[in-house]
């Protein structure tokens, strides 16, 4: 642990022991007791909204004076096992702990730092413990406390965990893109570092530690890191952009992993995608670049992938793949709502802090209107409807470049028909043969083909007649849920 002496002094300055801080001398040395204390302190840290709990040997529990200890965690044996692996095998895997020691005024102090419980309670040998004031208790004997703890666990978010700890003010501003933060928020850049940190603390980009130093949260690192590689816990969540020269994955020509945080690097990422999806044309004596996709479609699709990814899935991040005929955007995690209801459902994100700041940065839309904009752009540019595929731990959205109507499959036409119905329903306006012909930029001679498309969409239970008894030429349709 860094700044160990400073941490110890900050904890000693507490008026008394707390549910997440325990002082001992030599009386606590039994491995089973230590395991129970780890469990109790870690669960209490979650209950009291602390990132860490602490168990210190060598500190008097009443006066908080440094008295020293003989406890030696490095050479503690349980049969043939060392203490740390013995504890690790018997504790649940939803947190971390670490020992360290230091000599202060010729007296040894041992510090055990315990990460708070995340996702579920910490268990030791299949039992759960908690601290009430300064007493270790079995959690099952305290049903009201257990209920309150689970409420905390259910509201846990990855964004609030520390990505890098024990930082000075200078370290913080060196690691984060401070200028980008104030530019995106349209706020004048402060003249003093302490004012910069004030804004960062308010937005939960950093937190002040128990030892007076600072931690950059996962939220801060993901959004504003100058180099994501500086933050080992989130570096694998960097955006990866792969460009292919052909329609398959055997032809990569670019494979780029983003170095900056999502907010810091967003504009550059979108510009790169637009560059790779543009084609050059000659009109008269002039060369012009034409993009195969409206920029807003790309922006909203990428932003949605960042916001709605499941950050609890380790070792993976958003992936953007650009092919000559499509863009595939994959994010870790399954959607929280039915994929057929992306357009009409209210916004729902599993990463509320991330979504909130990205909205404040004007990177994504307010009120969940991103999918509405994607659908409208598809119709305006006569593009196929995006496809949404859900796999075991991933969601993939595919944007397609222009395909003439007579080259589209029936499934592609049905998907566009359903999206058209969703968009019109949002304005309380049903679809018809004529509105679909307008959507596909077809003339009246295509009316029989559109009638077949409508029948296929009804058969697939994606749209339904407003009034089944209406004359065929006057039939109007809503989405199946309308």
Residue in the block written with tokens 């950050």: 311
Please give the pLDDT value at position 342: 81
- Can you give the pLDDT at residue 210? 80
User: What kind of fold does domain 405-479 have according to CATH?
Assistant: Arc Repressor Mutant, subunit A (1.10.10)
| pLDDT at residue 384, rounded to an integer | 96
Tens of pLDDT, residue by residue, the chain (482 residues):
777 998 999 999 999 999 999 999 988 889 999 999 999 999 999 999 898 999 999 999 999 999 999 999 999 999 999 999 999 999 998 788 999 999 999 999 999 999 899 878 999 999 999 999 889 999 999 999 999 999 988 877 789 888 998 899 999 999 999 999 999 999 999 999 999 999 999 999 999 988 889 999 999 999 999 999 999 889 989 999 999 999 999 999 999 999 999 999 999 999 999 999 987 655 554 555 678 999 999 999 999 999 999 887 767 899 999 999 999 999 998 888 888 888 877 667 778 899 999 999 999 865 556 788 899 999 999 999 999 999 888 999 999 999 999 999 999 999 999 999 999 998 899 999 999 999 999 999 999 999 999 999 999 999 999 999 888 888 999 999 88
Task: Identify the three-state secondary structure at position 225.
Answer: strand
- Architecture per CATH, 238-380: 2-Layer Sandwich (3.30)
Q: Which helix (H) or strand (E) holds 420?
A: helix 410-426
Q: CB neighbours of 268 closer than 8 A, spacing ≥ 6?
A: 260
CA distance 352 to 350: 6
H-run or E-run covering 327:
strand 326-332
Q: What is the DSSP letter of 237?
A: G
Fold classified for 4-156: 3.30.950
What is the pTM for the complete model shown? Answer: 0.74
The full set of domain ranges for the chain reads 4-156, 160-226, 238-380, 405-479
Cα distance between residue 465 and residue 232, in whole Å: 54
- CB neighbours of residue 74 within 10 Å: 10
Helices (H), 186-244: 193-202, 218-224
Please give the Cα distance from 38 to 15 (Å, whole number).
22
Q: What is the pLDDT of residue 261?
A: 97
């Amino acid at each position: 642990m860094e700044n160990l002496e400073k941490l110890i002094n900050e904890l000693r300055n507490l008026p008394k022991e707390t549910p997440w801080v325990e002082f001992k001398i030599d009386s606590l040395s039994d491995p089973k007791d230590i395991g129970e204390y780890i469990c109790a302190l870690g669960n209490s840290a979650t209950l009291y909204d602390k990132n860490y709990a602490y168990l210190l040997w060598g500190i008097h529990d009443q006066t908080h004076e440094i008295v020293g200890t003989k406890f030696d965690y490095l050479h503690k044996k349980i049969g043939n096992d060392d203490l740390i692996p013995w504890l690790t095998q018997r504790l649940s895997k939803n947190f971390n702990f670490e020992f360290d020691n230091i000599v202060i005024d010729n007296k040894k102090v041992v510090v055990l730092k315990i990460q708070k419980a995340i996702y579920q309670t910490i268990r030791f040998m299949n039992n759960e413990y908690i601290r009430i004031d300064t007493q270790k208790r079995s959690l099952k004997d305290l049903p009201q406390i257990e209920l309150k703890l689970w409420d905390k666990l259910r509201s846990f978010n990855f964004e609030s965990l520390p990505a890098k700890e024990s930082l000075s003010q200078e370290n913080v501003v060196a690691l984060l893109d401070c200028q980008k933060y104030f530019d995106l928020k349209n706020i004048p850049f402060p003249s003093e570092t302490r004012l910069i940190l004030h804004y960062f603390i308010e937005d939960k980009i950093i937190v002040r530690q128990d030892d007076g130093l600072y931690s950059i949260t996962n939220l801060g690192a993901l959004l504003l890191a100058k180099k994501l590689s500086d933050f080992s816990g989130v570096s694998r969540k960097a955006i990866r952009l792969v460009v292919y020269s052909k329609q398959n994955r055997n032809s990569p020509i670019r494979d780029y992993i983003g170095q900056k945080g999502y907010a810091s690097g967003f504009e550059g990422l979108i510009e790169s995608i637009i560059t790779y999806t543009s084609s050059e044309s000659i009109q008269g004596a002039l060369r012009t670049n034409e993009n195969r996709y409206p920029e807003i479609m790309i922006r909203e699709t990428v932003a949605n992938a960042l916001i709605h990814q499941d950050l609890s899935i380790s070792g993976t991040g958003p992936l953007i793949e650009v092919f000559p005929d499509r863009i595939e955007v994959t994010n870790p995690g399954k959607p929280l709502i039915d994929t057929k209801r992306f357009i009409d459902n209210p916004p729902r994100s599993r990463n509320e802090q991330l979504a909130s700041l990205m909205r404040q940065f004007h990177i994504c839309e307010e009120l969940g209107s991103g999918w509405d904009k994607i659908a409208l752009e598809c119709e305006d540019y006569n593009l196929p409807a995006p496809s949404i595929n859900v796999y075991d731990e991933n969601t993939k959205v595919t944007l397609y470049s222009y395909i003439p109507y007579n080259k589209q499959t029936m499934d592609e036409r049905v998907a566009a028909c359903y999206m058209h119905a969703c968009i019109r329903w949002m304005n309380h306006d049903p679809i018809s043969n004529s509105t679909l012909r307008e959507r596909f930029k077809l003339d009246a001679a295509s009316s029989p083909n559109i009638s077949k498309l409508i029948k296929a969409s009804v058969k697939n239970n994606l749209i339904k007649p407003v009034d089944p008894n209406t004359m065929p030429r006057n039939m109007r349709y809503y989405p199946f849920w309308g």
